[in-house]
Structure 1
Amino acid sequence: MKEPALPREELRGLFLFEHLSDEQLDWIDEHAVLEHYAGDTAVIREGEPATCFYILLSGALRMTRLVSGAEVEVKRSDQRGSYCGATQFFVHQENEHAYSATVYAVSDLTFLTLPAAEFAIEFRKWFPMAAHLLEGMYLGWRNTDTVVSSRRRLLALGELSAGLTHELNNPAAAAVRATASLRERVAGMRHKLAMLAKKDIDPDLLEQLLDVQEQLVKQVGDAPKLTAMQQADREDEIGDWFDDHDIDQGWDLAATFVAAGLRAENLDGVLESVGEGLIDGAVRWLAYALETEILMGEIEDSTTRISALVGAAKQYSQMDRAPHQWIDVHEGLDSTLVMLSGKIGPGIEVVKQYDRSIDRIPAYAAELNQVWTNVIDNALGAMGGVEGAGKLTLRTWQEGKQIRVEIGDTGPGIPEEVRQRIFEPFFTTKGVGEGTGLGLDISWRIVVERHSGDIKVTSEPGDTRFEICLPIEEQASL
């Protein structure tokens, strides 16, 4: 439904028009119309010809964009005077303008609508220099952003892929080695069992030996972690037992029994079961059984590690998840640490001071993961990266209607003159070719503009802290 536009006084009350002349307001009044939309209605569709410039008078709207075929919400607003639609009307283009986003009415709302083509002509007449500057800035920013963002995404993806590949390679290689060794041990165990059978061993005795094997194998999972000194002492103890019972090359078997958590008294039980005549074959057969169990444990640990890494990668990328959801920030922090594990050297200690009782928050999880990545990556870089040393601290807590995430490092700190500019686009302290200066700017926009939160930094030598504040309730500006 269309109606006459607003009175001049009400038009001047909109921040876009407050400094226009009376003649300019008259033109607005002559060409503008009021349009009303019910809640849950699509006002404009992305990709359609951009024919109108919309100014919100009342109600709330949300904007979405298509990303890989899925709608992603990029903005919500209920601020009077917010505008959308043909927002690039002032740019000369050979092809027809198209709406860059879809706009939905969240509640019943009213727009003041201007015809984009006619408004563009008047705008360039009213503000010729501003129009040229805006057009140049817009086109320059768009071209620069396309080149720099694409390059930055490729570099970041390459680094994360390299780190994840490295992390996956270790357990995968361990599983392959353990599987090859397991095949040899199973073959050896069959061989030893055949040798025992050839000695006409009593069936009851064989059954008793199998019972002993099961008892010893069950102890493998509970084997204690030993220091190098404890390991050597126990190997000497078992090696001496083998020497006392004339078992050749017993020192070669001792490590397997110690790794399985056994001691000399366990071997005394084996001796009581089979006697001196069969103790040599029984010990070697048991060694194969124990080593088989140990290798199966290694395979299980390796494949579990691979599964955990894949799970962390899916959580980090938010694969198969809605863009906007209620999340536990700890999941994103942990998955980010996994993705950046290749940059965490042995000299860097990671300390987690999580308050697991804090509320879940409504957020764009994948975008917050980008914030954690940028801040943690900068912290690791400040401490020297893989070759560096220091402490990376992640702390969470809740204050009223906000949750706080603090990421700290023990690097050299950020000088005051740099600290005042770190959230500016393209500002970086890195050398040429080492950074784009977009990481913290993007982080600021994600936290402040997308999530209605706040991000601040305090720093002195040896103690730099980024504090991210996020609301626990839905915000209209999401």
Structure 2
Amino acid sequence: MSEPMAIAHVRKVAVQELYPELKKIPTFSQTSHHDLACLGDLEILEVPADVPILHPGDSPDYFWMVLRGGVRVYKTEKDGSTIFVTAAKEGDTFGEVPILAGTSRVHVTVESTADCTLARVPQERFWRLMATCPTVRNIILKNMSRRLEAHTALTLHREKLISLGTLAAGLMHELNNPGTAAKRAASQLRDNMTRLQEISLRMTRTRLSEEQILCLHQLLAEAFAAQKKPQAMSSLDEADAQEALAEWLEGIGVTNAWKLAPTLVAAGWTQQDIECTHHAFPPEILSDALNWLEAVISNIQLVGTIEESITRVTDLVMAVKKYAYEDKNKEHKLDIHDTLRSTLTILGHKFRHKQIAIEKQFSPDVPVLTTCGTGISQVWTNLLDNAIDASPEGGKITIRTWTEGKWVCVGIADRGPGIPPEHRDKVFEPFFTTKPVGVGTGLGLDIAHRVVTGHYNGQIGFTTEAGKTEFIVKLPIEKAAL
């Protein structure tokens, strides 16, 4: 292990000389001289403030005691951010976790927070103390258990924050498109209203005949007819139709013909639909009549765009509500297909980013469950997130549902490389991950396993081979209690 930098003094002291100070440490408060005799000589370190004592990658060679001052323990993430793990003050001990866990390297930084005096015990003497002094052993094991619980809670909290960040990023992606579309449509609608007013004022200066008024009424009625739906056309057919209509409009003397044609064709209008204008209006007001019609149709289309955008935003809000809402410990109905669709909506941007196709094979026979379980959306999120990571660019993920005896089954399959044989027994273990450092926490499948088995009394497993991995979740059709 590398020595602390800028340590003023290191000396060896017999444990008998330190016994009065060690008795002040809770870990050793109930020990006798005989209990601590196995420690032999202790190394005493005088460490100035803000000096690293342990670095990530150091060997856990010592068990440490804080005789004066204090230290803090933190972890540096891949992105350079630091996460506070714990602190040790005067009378505390640290360093037992990596020794007892059998790790060969520490993964945290230990740094003095003030001028401090530390005592350290080599690993072999620490093991001797653990073997010969049950009182100390019990206290140290309790400390280790408490610290592992705190570390797990911290990691779970970070996992939730990462999930929240992913959710927020997904929402920003999803909300940006309808928001931008609605804003653009509103701006165009304002311009159209101005243009429509100008055309209408010009047309009021001309006394319209009965034929002209009838033609305008007929066109207006058709424009607002709810049943008038444009016929689907290929891009090539649509371009040909626009060109043909623009040429006809230009031929009868209509200004802005090439601007009018795309709007009219997009709304399903043809030359026959506006033929009455050619016969009813003289050339001097024909352009105004058709530009007026185009402005009305364009306004209807823009209002439709705004309605669609707002509907999309509402759908997203509902998806998030269904995704996040949990009626904890209360019996409620659970529509598996509904939760899957909501999760797919939330993760939509991730599928589009890798151009992954989603194939849904939802069985109509799957019943709505009555359950007290919660957290199923988090299960789908973790499984789909892993499937996305495993899938190649432009791949496909298949989601299927079916019933099997007393179970409702959900399968989520990717076309990735498969899980290597040496990893298959560990996939549901907490903190196990094959993802790069800083990318995966190793808790996604552990959380999924705990939710399915613990909250729903269900089962979760997988099948894997080269080119396909499918995780299968089975939930009981009969009421599952938390």
Question: TM over 0.5, yes or no?
Answer: yes
The answer to whether the Cα contact below 8 Å between 1:318 and 1:365 also exists between their aligned partners in 2 is: no
Match of 2:163? 156
Spell out, residue by residue over 1:293-321, the C-alpha distance to the aligned partner (whole angstroms, 9 max, x if none).
11011001100000000000000001678
Q: Output the amino acid matched with 1:468.
A: V
- For 1:237-386, list aligned pairs within 5 A: 237-274=244-281, 276=283, 278-318=285-325, 324-345=331-352, 347-363=355-371, 366-384=374-392
Which residue in 1 is equivalent to 2:428? 423
Match of 1:223 in 2: 230
Letter in 1 for 2:293: L
The correspondence for 2:440, drawn from 431, 435, 445, is: 435
Q: Report if aligned partners of 1:220, 1:293 keep a CA contact under 8 Å in 2.
A: no
**CA distance 1:174–1:340, change in 2 (3 Å):** same
Report the residue type matching 1:257 in the other structure: L
SS of equivalent residue, structure 2 residue 232: coil
- Number of the residue aligned with 1:172: 179
Amino acid at match of 2:452: V
**In structure 2, C-alpha distance between the alignment counterparts of 1:394 and 1:332, rounded to whole Å:** 12
The offset of 1:356, in angstroms, is: 2.7
Partner deviation per Cα, 1:154-200 (whole Å, 9 max, x = no partner): 11101110111110111011111101110111121121111111111
Q: Corresponding residue for 1:463?
A: 468
Q: 1:462 to 1:270 in 2, by over 3 A?
A: farther
> Where in structure 2 are the equivalents of 1:98-137 lying within 5 Å?
131-132=138-139, 135-137=142-144
Distance 1:303 1:366 in 2: 30
What is the match of residue 22 of structure 1?
none
**Cα distance change of structure 1 residues 221 and 265 upon mapping to structure 2, 3 Å threshold:** closer
Moved more, 427-436 or 276-285: 276-285
User: How has the CA–CA distance of structure 1 residues 364 and 408 changed in structure 2, closer, same or farther, with 3 Å as cutoff?
Assistant: farther
Does the 8 Å contact 1:332/1:365 carry over to 2? no
* 8 A Cα contact 1:332 1:369, kept in partner: yes
CA distance in 1: counterparts of 2:246 and 2:235, whole angstroms? 16
Paired letter, 1:254: A
Equivalent runs, 1:183-198 vs 2, <5 Å? 183-198=190-205
Letter matched to residue 367 of structure 1: G
Please give the per-residue CA displacement for 1:109-134, whole angstroms capped at 9, x wherever unaligned.
Answer: xxxxxxxxxxxxxxxxxx86985575
1:322 Cα offset (Å) = 7.0
Of all paired residues, the percent bearing the same amino acid is 35
Alpha-carbon RMSD: 2.4
Does 1:391 find its partner at 2:399? no
1:26-65 to structure 2, matched below 5 A, reads none
For structure 1, the 5+ residue unaligned runs are 1-126
Given that 1:220 and 1:290 are in contact with CA atoms closer than 8 Å, whether structure 2 keeps it comes out as: no
Q: Distance in 2 between matches of 1:241 and 1:187?
A: 27
User: 2:152 & 2:280 partners in 1: Cα distance?
Assistant: 77
- Secondary structure in 2 aligned to 1:411? coil
Q: Does 1:413 align with 2:418?
A: yes
Alignment partner of 1:344: what SS? helix
State the AA in 2 paired with 1:403.
V
Who is 2:145 aligned against? 138
d(CA) in 2 for partners of 1:370, 1:363: 16
Q: CA deviation at 1:137?
A: 4.6
User: In 1, are the aligned partners of 2:343 and 2:381 still within 8 Å (CA)?
Assistant: yes
In the aligned structure 1, how far is the partner of 2:269 from the partner of 2:328? 48
Q: Which residue of the partner structure matches residue 154 of structure 2? A: 147
Structure 1 range deviating more: 455-464 or 319-328 = 319-328
Q: How does 1:88-99 map to 2 (within 5 A)?
A: none
Matched pairs, number: 350
Q: Per the alignment, do residues 402 and 249 of structure 1 end up closer, same or farther by CA in structure 2, a change over 3 Å counting? A: same
Q: Distance in 1 between matches of 2:174 and 2:231?
A: 26
The offset of 1:249, in angstroms, is 3.1
Find the aligned partners of 1:147 and 1:312 in 2 and give their Cα distance. Answer: 28
Q: Which runs of 5+ in 2 are unaligned?
A: 1-133
* 8 A contact 2:359–2:398 mirrored in 1: yes
| Stretch moving more, 136-145 or 406-415 | 136-145
CA contact (8 A) 2:461 2:471 kept: yes
Q: Name the CA distance, whole Å, in 1 between partners of 2:463 and 2:327.
A: 37
With normalisation by structure 1, the TM-score equals 0.69
For the 8 Å contact 1:358–1:397, the answer to whether it is kept is yes
Q: After TM superposition, give the deviation of residue 335 of structure 1 in Å.
A: 0.7
CA distance in structure 2 between the partners assigned to 1:415 and 1:251 by the alignment: 60
**Partners of 1:455 and 1:372 in 2: CA distance:** 12
Q: In structure 2, do the counterparts of structure 1 residues 176 and 365 end up closer, same or farther at CA, with 3 Å as the change threshold?
A: farther
Mean alpha-carbon deviation: is it higher for 440-449 or for 320-329?
320-329
